[in-house]
Amino acid sequence: PPFTGENRKKTIDKILKCKLNLPPYLTQEARDLLKKLLKRNAASRLGAGPGDAGEVQAHPFFRHINWEELLARKVEPPFKPLLQSEEDVSQFDSKFTRQTPVDSPDDSTLSESANQVFLGFTYVAPSVLESVKEKFSFEPKIRSPRRFIGSPRTPV
């Protein structure tokens, strides 16, 4: 990634303040595309103007792409990897699969005004609901008929 830090705050600080350094092996078109997509001012990024996604599609990096055929799913991929399972990462460079994630969870707390947005909101994960449902069945329990023990009552 172009910007990484020891934690989320440092990563964001680098995004906001540091110069974008791109690897030298990228083509000039790729470098130009990335610079235009990663501008700090979101309004001046490629695709943020009136041309929307068409601005990105018209960039020289994509000059060989037939967008209509691509969107119609008529384009054959140049390479189809053979995967052993859905978790197969053998096609990724081990340089990346060995890395531990750098991004850390946000440890800041919300301000009181930001917390107001969530008043009255609750969430229960579906997995929790399923485990509760398994423990407490709402099906009526069938009782065996009671047996009368002792002397029968006489009607009044």
Mean pLDDT by 10 residues, the chain (156 residues): 83 88 94 94 94 95 95 92 92 89 68 76 74 58 53 52
Residue 124 belongs to a domain: no
d(CA 76, CA 135): 50
pLDDT number for residue 102: 72
Residue 154 belongs to a domain: no
Residue numbers of the domain that contains 45: 8-77+89-97
61 CB neighbour count, 10 Å cutoff? 19
Instruction: Give me the torsion for CA of 131, 136, 142, 147, rounded to 10°.
Output: 130
Residue 66 belongs to a domain: yes
pLDDT number for residue 15: 86
Closest C-alpha among 70, 51, 25 to residue 36:
51
Residue 128 belongs to a domain: no
Residue 109 belongs to a domain: no
Residue 119 belongs to a domain: no
Residue 64 belongs to a domain: yes
Tokens, residue 37? 């997509």
pLDDT number for residue 137: 52
Maximum separation of any 2 CA atoms in the chain, in Å: 104
Q: What is the CATH number of the domain that holds 67?
A: 1.10.510.10
Are 52 and 43 in contact by the 8 Å Cβ rule? The answer is no
Structural domain count of the chain = 1
Residue 145 belongs to a domain: no
